[in-house]
Amino acid sequence: MKNANLIIACPKGRLESKIVSMLKRKGLEFERDFFNESSRKLTFNTNFKNIKIIKLKPSDIRAYTMLGAADIGFVGYDDILENSDNNIVLLNKTKIGKCRLSIASNKKKIDFAEKKIFKVATKFKNITEKYFEEKNIQIEIIKLNGSIELAVKYGVADLIVDLVESGQTLKQNHLFENIIINNNISTVSISSYYAYDLKKDLIKKLII
Amino acid sequence: MKNANLIIACPKGRLESKIVSMLKRKGLEFERDFFNESSRKLTFNTNFKNIKIIKLKPSDIRAYTMLGAADIGFVGYDDILENSDNNIVLLNKTKIGKCRLSIASNKKKIDFAEKKIFKVATKFKNITEKYFEEKNIQIEIIKLNGSIELAVKYGVADLIVDLVESGQTLKQNHLFENIIINNNISTVSISSYYAYDLKKDLIKKLII
């Protein structure tokens, strides 16, 4: 009965402790090695014999969940918006990592009539293309992987599309948050349809 | 004469100090703020009035160089192999960050007749596709962003294609380095054709 096991993928790093606390509130206890940074264990036990935990880089959790290596994964809602996949079941939206996805620039107000094509730097190519296409505004995407907020200063983009939490990073880089594209980003729990179908009862008990 | 300025993009993090040392050996001195982690400066001066330094995440340097925000950038040769672009001028191969790109698995020898399709986990989608296509081996790519070495253990892939330096990470994860795809990866200096054409003399003096 291998399928009776439920594997939860927990993201390493910034949001790890918050997700662990949330799982604890649901009644899960983690084996001590989980909190030992130097442990080379891959799978950690919990107080439930059939529930195991794995730790992954946040950006790999969606892939591992889709591929069946995890039954429940925690990812940013932005990850789901950007990489929509028919095989994803969105289980629950948490209040962890709340932020918004916004357009920012070095101007208080963007005048979209000012240019024919706007250069937009972002990690979120698909969301950005979709947004501007719907608004009928021509853009060229500058796909970056980090420090998006530098792109305007360095002159490679007119606008950026990025996650905004407190707004401090924008302020420090003299950028204005012009338009909120999505005000409702936070960590969500996901499953694949395959795992959900097979382990619905256990998943529902734990997550919802 | 804005074009007479030469902007060098230095990668933050693991290889930063080695690249700084190399530039120092070429006669460059950096202003003190460059070494101050909390400095919010974007562009740093050097002892040459027309040479400036910017610091970027390694994965953004190629884009910034292509877009003209930097005239010289330092990136991994793997980045160039994976994202070939006609606009890139490869200036020089350094000895910094030497490693190889290899195929690894949990078997001492891979028997490619054993399966019809091999699942291959990697960050290097393009290089991997090209390699196996040339060998006429059918694969399915599992695109991951980090901790590639876990993919075999977690059962999401048969093989991985990843950078190998000492081989320690593979060993610790009970993987064998089966095939070396490229034995000649290291940090390279690049320029865009546009910048190279305009600032050839200064670039040549500094890099070659």
**DSSP structure string for A159-201:** EEEEEESSSHHHHHTT-EEEEEEEEEE-EEEEEEHHHHHHHHH
Q: Are residues A143 and A203 in the same domain?
A: no
A92 and A6, same structural domain?
A: yes
Smallest Cα distance from A28 to chain B, Å: 22
Closest by Cα among B187, B193, B188 to B68: B193
Mark whether B58 and B143 lie in a shared domain: no
H or E element: which one contains A31? none
CATH of the domain at A81: 3.40.190.10
Judged by CB atoms closer than 8 Å, whether chains meet at A145 and B60 is answered as yes
Six-digit token string for B20: 């700084």
Domain boundaries, position A140? 99-185
> How do residues A117-126 score in pLDDT, each as one tens digit?
999 999 999 9
Q: Is pLDDT of B2 > 60?
A: no
* Same-domain pairing of B12 and B88: yes
Please indicate, yes or no, whether residues A180 and A199 belong to a single structural domain of this protein. no
For residues B208 and A76, which has the higher predicted lDDT (pLDDT)? A76
- Indicate whether A103 and A174 sit together in one domain: yes
Q: Tell me which chain B residues have a C-beta less than 8 angstroms from the C-beta of A68.
A: 155-156
Question: Token pair of B113, please?
Answer: 């007749």
Number of domains within chain A = 2
Query: Tell me, what's the pLDDT at A205?
Result: 82
Comparing CB atoms, the residue among A67, A142, A147 nearest residue B156 is A67
pLDDT of residue B208: 52
Interface test with B, best of A59, A62, A150 (most B CBs within 10 A): A150
Q: Are residue A126 and residue A79 in the same domain, yes or no?
A: no
Is residue B117 predicted with pLDDT exceeding 60?
yes
Contact pairs from chain A to chain B, CB under 8 Å: 58
Residues B109 and B181 grouped into a single domain: yes
Phi and psi dihedrals of A4, rounded to 5?
-75, -15
Tell me the average pLDDT across A29-53.
90
pLDDT in tens, A146-156: 889 889 988 89
For A69, name the nearest residue in chain B, comparing CA atoms only.
B154
Statement to judge: residues A174 and A137 lie in one domain: yes
pLDDT range class, residue B142, cuts 50, 70, 90: very high
End-to-end CA distance of chain B: 24
Contact (Cβ atoms closer than 8 angstroms) between residue B189 and residue B73: yes
Tell me what the mean pLDDT of segment B68-92 comes to: 92
Q: What's the rounded mean pLDDT across residues A109-132?
A: 96
Taking Cα atoms as reference points, which of A21, A25, A26 lies closest to residue A6?
A26
CA distance A180 to A44: 39
Q: What is the pLDDT of residue B5?
A: 87
Q: What is the pLDDT, as a whole number, of residue B85? A: 78
| A172 in reach of chain B (CB within 8 A) | yes
The arithmetic mean of pLDDT across residues B65-92, rounded, is 92
Looking at residues B141-160, what average pLDDT do you find?
A: 91
* Chain B hits for A142, Cβ within 8 Å: 63, 67
Number of H helices, E strands in chain B: 7, 11
Cross-strand partners of A76: A187
Instruction: Please check whether residues B161 and B119 belong to one and the same domain.
Output: yes
> Looking at the structure, do residues A63 and A125 belong to the same domain, yes or no?
no
Regarding whether A196 and A147 lie in a shared domain, the answer is: no
> What type of residue sits at position A98?
K
The stretch A130-150 carries a mean pLDDT of 93
